């Protein structure tokens, strides 16, 4: 028979039953356990046996959004890292790059995702959105327009929205940190 | 087929006739300059008569592959496909007829080939590749994939590579893929050549558009369709997931996209474009499928007969700029999570606690670990260094005996920032 059918066994290891563990699972284990979460972020798992679904909260310590706690859900599928994690905000907030349904406009979550990126890159990207909201890539048009034309008014509106008050006819969720 | 008059007169079965395999026998009946040393003359002395070959997918590539295998002397062909036949398949999936629409592809394809080529047995399975286990896959000597998704390829690759490692016997995978005028065929000899996972970084992601463009400044019909199914569908239907195979769902997306396109004065939304964008359908060209399937089946034939060297190991075909192919040796990734040599046997004192085990790992000079995180292969946490919430919840395990968390012979998946990917420890408790 053809020689390619027998693989050389260097040692006994080939005889041991190899586990059925998906490459996505191992990659998530690697990404998660090497996360360097800043003190402004916290992670939680609705079901700790499922590492593919978790929540992340961000409590910015500077910028427009200081004082609020912003929550996101992460959903990773078995095609990770070929596909990016799905990230969604769970509160209604006033932010140029996040719409009222929690969709996040962050390039590496969609068109610029690459398998060499990891969860840390996504988390850094999210953090950055709160420090430097970007009026050029609007997902929430009013908020972007506001930021572009008048930073003072934008700042005021952000503060109002974070307390659960209405901004231009829309009520937002109260996201203030409870001390 | 190409039978001349004298042989037609001798035929006893319309599916078979004397000399039917004459052309194949020309290759097999005598040794040629490129034959492998193990080559022995004669069809009966090759693997062909008893080779069990598995074809994954009975679609565009699958139909061609099944036809080619049957006409190249393979006798025992198995085929898996989870799909049923759609009208739109009929232009190129030539084993199917209009009356077959709605029936399972695997079953119809198997019937057709069996009825057409005498002496060939085709065994279909209508279902998912994930339904089958190692016992099923290990009966095959060659696996040919004509798949249309990265996910299915990754699963197949990992399953066959792991199985090959376990058996100590390589089951070659021949993977074909097409996209419009372009295609590729590759031969994967598990643990010897690069595998599908090794080349994952090379893949392009399907085209997606920035979500802000979709939301605010649509310019293309595709932007409107993506808006309808990415942003509008979840808003309107909350918890109901879009079923891309449900015509009612596609119709809804189509109408929503059409309305949006009207607002932005964009032309070009059609039902079939909607279906194409939502299901990420890439135009299939019959000739591309024929070329790639032919390349795959030639490799299967050469591997089974040793009559010529097989592809080493990656052929790209670019049909959109004339006929151009390029063959190269894709390199194996040493730290590939599927085929990499990252599994090590370790003997562990069965009285050790998890903490003692971790200390021992850190001191192991050939491992070079700093902050190892440990999970079992069936996804149970032993100890994770981060994030803090998981560190806290796994910390109590540090004091437990390792033998209370795993069994002798179990595998532990270790990740560490010093490791490029992961390390798999097969633990013997002594």
Q: What angle do CA B396, B398, B401 make, to 5 degrees?
A: 105
CATH number of B343-429: 3.10.290.20
d(CA B198, CA B33): 33
Coil, helix or strand at residue B229: helix
Is the domain defined by B211-278 classed in CATH 3.60.15.10? no
Query: Do A155 and A117 contact (CB within 8 A), yes or no?
Result: no
- Which of A7, A19, A103 shows the shortest C-beta gap to B211? A103
Q: Select the residue from A2, A13, A141 to test the B interface by mutation, using most B Cβ atoms within 10 A.
A: A2
Q: pLDDT, tens digit, for every residue of B356-394?
A: 999 999 888 777 788 999 999 888 999 999 999 999 999
Q: pLDDT, tens digit, for every residue of A125-156?
A: 999 999 999 998 889 999 999 999 999 999 99
Tokens 């039953």 sit at which residue? A17
Q: What angle do CA A58, A63, A66 make, to 5 degrees?
A: 50
Give residue A12's pLDDT.
42
- Which of A34, A103, A114 shows the shortest C-beta gap to B386? A34
Is A15 part of any domain?
A: no
Q: What DSSP designation does A61 have? A: S
Question: What are the catalytic residues of A?
Answer: 105
Q: Which of B191, B170, B407, B426 is nearest to A17 (CA)?
A: B426
Residues of B in contact with A43 (CB under 8 A): 387-390
Q: What DSSP designation does B120 have? A: -
Residues of B in contact with A3 (CB under 8 A): 38
Which H/E stretch holds residue B297? helix B286-305
Which H/E stretch holds residue B65? helix B60-71
In chain B, pLDDT over 90 holds for what percent of residues?
70
Give residue B48's pLDDT.
93
Query: Do B52 and B140 contact (CB within 8 A), yes or no?
Result: yes
Q: Which of B414, B408, B398 is nearest to B430 (CA)?
A: B408
Using pLDDT thresholds of 50, 70 and 90, give the confidence band for residue A179.
low
Query: Do A55 and A46 contact (CB within 8 A), yes or no?
Result: yes
- What are the distances in angstroms from CA B402 to CA B343, B350, B375? 19, 7, 12
End-to-end CA distance of chain B: 66
- Which of A29, A101, A115 shows the shortest C-beta gap to B235? A101
Q: pLDDT, tens digit, for every residue of B160-206?
A: 998 998 888 899 999 999 999 999 999 999 989 999 999 988 887 77
Is A50 part of any domain?
A: yes
Residue B26: Cβ within 10 Å count: 10
Answer whether residue A9 shows pLDDT above 70.
no
Give residue B9's pLDDT.
43
d(CA B61, CA B177): 8
In chain A, pLDDT over 90 holds for what percent of residues?
72
* CB spacing of A5 vs B169 below 8 angstroms: yes
Q: What is the DSSP string of B251-275?
A: HHHHHHHHHHHHHTT-----HHHHH
- What are the distances in angstroms from CA B121 to CA A29, B78, B237, B313? 44, 8, 47, 29
Answer whether residue B3 shows pLDDT above 70.
no
d(CA B392, CA B389): 5
- In Å, the largest CA–CA distance within chain B is 84
End-to-end CA distance of chain A: 73
- Which of A4, A30, A37 shows the shortest C-beta gap to B170? A4
From A116, which residue of chain B is nearest by alpha-carbon distance?
B201
> What number of CA atoms fall less than 13 Å from residue B361's CA on the CB side?
27
Q: What is the DSSP string of B27-63?
A: HHSS--TT--TT--SSGGGSSTTT-EEEEE--SHHHH
Domain at A80, CATH number? 3.10.110.10
Answer whether residue B130 shows pLDDT above 80.
yes
What tokens does B15 get?
């599916």
d(CA A34, CA A136): 32
* CB spacing of A18 vs B36 below 8 angstroms: no
* CB spacing of A97 vs B212 below 8 angstroms: yes
Least confident of B60-74, B199-213, B261-275, B296-310: B199-213
From B420, which residue of chain A is nearest by alpha-carbon distance?
A30
Angle at which helices B271-278 and B247-263 cross, to 10°:
110
Q: pLDDT, tens digit, for every residue of B206-264?
A: 778 888 888 888 999 999 999 999 889 988 998 888 888 889 999 999 999 999 999 99
Check residue A63 and give left, alpha or beta (phi > 0: left; psi -120 to 50: alpha).
left
Using pLDDT thresholds of 50, 70 and 90, give the confidence band for residue A88.
very high
Tell me the average pLDDT across A72-81. Answer: 93
Dihedral pair phi/psi, residue A71, rounded to 5°: -110, 140
Is A79 part of any domain?
A: yes
Q: Which residues pair with B169 in a beta bridge?
A: A6
What tokens does B137 get?
């896959």
Q: Which of B101, B104, B34, B13 is nearest to B62 (CA)?
A: B104
* CB spacing of B306 vs A19 below 8 angstroms: no
Is A49 part of any domain?
A: yes
Is A69 part of any domain?
A: yes
- Which of B38, B203, B389 shows the shortest C-beta gap to A3? B38
d(CA B287, CA B87): 19
Give residue B10's pLDDT.
47
Answer whether residue B6 shows pLDDT above 70.
no
Using pLDDT thresholds of 50, 70 and 90, give the confidence band for residue A7.
low
Is A14 part of any domain?
A: no
Query: Do B309 and B34 contact (CB within 8 A), yes or no?
Result: yes
What tokens does B263 get?
């607002």
Give residue A20's pLDDT.
63
Which H/E stretch holds residue A144? helix A141-149
Mode of pairing for the β-strands spanning B373-376 and B182-188: unpaired
From B38, which residue of chain A is nearest by alpha-carbon distance?
A2
Buried b (16+ CB within 10 A) or exposed e, B50-89: ebbbbbbbbbbbbbbbbbbbbbbbbbbbbbbbbbbbeeeb
Give residue B8's pLDDT.
45
Give residue A18's pLDDT.
53
Give residue A13's pLDDT.
45
Domain boundaries, chain B: 24-204+284-328, 211-278, 343-429
Mean model confidence pLDDT for chain A: 88
Q: pLDDT, tens digit, for every residue of B10-32?
A: 445 677 888 889 999 999 999 99
- Which of A16, A104, A110 shows the shortest C-beta gap to B208? A110
Residues of B in contact with A99 (CB under 8 A): 215, 231
**From the CA of A164, how many Å to the nearest CA of chain B?**
21
When the candidates are 3.30.70.330, 3.40.50.1860, 3.40.50.300, 3.40.50.720, the CATH number that belongs to B24-204+284-328 is 3.40.50.720
More confident residue, B129 or A13: B129
Q: Which residues contact A178 (CB under 8 A, 6 or more apart)?
A: none
From B46, which residue of chain A is nearest by alpha-carbon distance?
A1
d(CA B223, CA A78): 27
Give residue B168's pLDDT.
86
Question: What are the catalytic residues of B?
Answer: 212
Tell me the average pLDDT across A111-138. Answer: 92
What tokens does B354 get?
């998890």
- What are the distances in angstroms from CA B50 to CA B160, B203, B309? 20, 36, 21
Expressed as residue numbers, the domain containing A103 is: 21-168
* CB spacing of A20 vs B377 below 8 angstroms: yes
Which H/E stretch holds residue B315? strand B314-318
d(CA A50, CA B411): 19
Q: Is the ipTM of this complex over 0.90?
A: no
Tokens 């300059």 sit at which residue? B33
**From the CA of B262, how many Å to the nearest CA of chain A?**
20
Mode of pairing for the β-strands spanning B381-383 and B373-376: antiparallel
Q: What is the DSSP string of B136-167?
A: HHTT-SEEEEE-S-HHHHHHHHHHHHHHHHHH
From A20, which residue of chain B is nearest by alpha-carbon distance?
B377
Tell me the average pLDDT across A3-17. Answer: 54
Residue B166: Cβ within 10 Å count: 15
From A29, which residue of chain B is nearest by alpha-carbon distance?
B415
Using pLDDT thresholds of 50, 70 and 90, give the confidence band for residue A8.
low
Give residue A11's pLDDT.
44
Answer whether residue B91 shows pLDDT above 90.
yes
Size of interface A-B (CB pairs under 8 A): 176
Residues of B in contact with A19 (CB under 8 A): 377-378, 411, 413, 424
More confident residue, B335 or B164: B164
**From the CA of A93, how many Å to the nearest CA of chain B?**
16
Number of domains in chain A: 1
Query: Do B60 and B146 contact (CB within 8 A), yes or no?
Result: yes
Q: Select the residue from B151, B216, B379 to test the A interface by mutation, using most A Cβ atoms within 10 A.
A: B379
Query: Do A164 and A174 contact (CB within 8 A), yes or no?
Result: yes
- What are the distances in angstroms from CA B209 to CA A20, A73, A115, A117, B274? 35, 22, 18, 18, 15
């Amino acid at each position: 028979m053809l020689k390619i059918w027998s693989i050389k066994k260097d040692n006994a290891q080939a005889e041991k039953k190899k586990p059925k563990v998906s490459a996505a699972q191992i990659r998530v284990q690697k990404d998660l356990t090497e996360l360097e979460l800043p003190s402004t972020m916290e992670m939680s798992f609705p079901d700790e046996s499922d590492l593919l679904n978790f929540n992340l909260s961000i409590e910015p310590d500077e910028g427009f959004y200081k004082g609020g706690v912003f929550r996101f859900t992460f959903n990773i599928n078995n095609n990770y890292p070929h596909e990016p994690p799905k990230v969604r905000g769970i509160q209604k907030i006033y932010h140029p790059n996040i719409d009222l349904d929690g969709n996040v406009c962050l390039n590496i979550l969609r068109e610029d995702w690459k398998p060499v990126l990891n969860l840390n890159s996504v988390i850094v990207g999210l953090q950055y959105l709160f420090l430097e909201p970007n009026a050029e890539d609007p997902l929430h048009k009013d908020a972007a327009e506001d930021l572009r034309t008048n930073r003072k008014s934008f700042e005021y509106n952000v503060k109002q929205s974070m307390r659960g008050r209405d901004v231009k006819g829309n009520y937002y969720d109260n996201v203030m940190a409870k001390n | 087929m190409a039978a001349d008059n004298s042989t037609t007169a001798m035929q006893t079965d319309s599916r078979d006739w004397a000399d039917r395999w004459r052309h194949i026998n020309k290759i097999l009946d005598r040794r040629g300059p490129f034959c492998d040393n193990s080559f022995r003359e004669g069809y009966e002395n090759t693997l062909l008569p008893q080779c069990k070959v598995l074809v994954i997918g009975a679609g565009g590539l699958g139909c061609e592959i099944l036809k080619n295998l049957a006409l190249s002397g393979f006798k025992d062909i198995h085929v898996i496909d989870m799909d049923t036949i759609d009208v739109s398949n009929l232009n190129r999936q030539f084993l199917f007829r209009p009356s077959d629409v709605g029936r399972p592809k695997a079953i119809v394809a198997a019937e057709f080939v069996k009825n057409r080529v005498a002496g060939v047995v085709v065994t279909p399975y209508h279902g998912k590749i994930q339904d089958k286990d190692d016992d099923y896959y290990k009966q095959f000597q060659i696996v040919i994939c004509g798949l249309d998704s990265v996910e299915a390829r990754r699963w197949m690759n990992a399953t066959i590579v792991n199985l090959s490692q376990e058996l100590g016997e390589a089951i070659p995978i021949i993977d074909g893929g097409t996209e419009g005028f372009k295609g590729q065929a590759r031969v994967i000899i598990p643990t010897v050549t690069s595998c599908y996972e090794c080349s994952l970084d090379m893949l392009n992601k399907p085209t997606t558009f920035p979500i802000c463009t979709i939301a605010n400044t649509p310019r293309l019909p595709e932007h409107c369709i993506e808006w309808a199914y990415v942003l509008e569908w979840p808003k309107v239907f909350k918890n109901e997931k879009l079923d891309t195979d449900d015509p009612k769902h596609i119709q809804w997306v189509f109408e929503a996209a059409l309305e949006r396109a009207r607002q932005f004065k964009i032309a070009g939304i059609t039902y079939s474009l909607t279906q194409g964008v939502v299901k990420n359908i890439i135009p299939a060209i019959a000739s591309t499928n024929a070329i790639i399937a032919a390349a795959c089946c030639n490799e299967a034939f050469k591997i089974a007969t040793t009559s010529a060297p097989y592809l080493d190991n990656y052929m790209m075909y670019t049909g959109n700029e004339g006929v151009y192919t390029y063959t190269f040796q894709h390199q194996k990734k040493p730290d590939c999570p599927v085929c990499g040599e990252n599994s090590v046997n370790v003997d562990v004192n069965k009285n050790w606690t998890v903490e003692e085990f971790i200390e021992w790992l850190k001191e192991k000079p050939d491992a070079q670990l700093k902050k190892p995180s440990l999970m079992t292969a069936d996804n149970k946490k032993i100890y994770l260094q981060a994030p803090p919430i998981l560190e806290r919840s796994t910390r109590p395990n540090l004091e437990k005996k390792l033998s209370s968390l795993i069994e002798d012979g179990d595998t532990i998946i270790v990740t560490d920032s010093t490791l490029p990917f992961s390390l798999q420890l097969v633990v013997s408790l002594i």
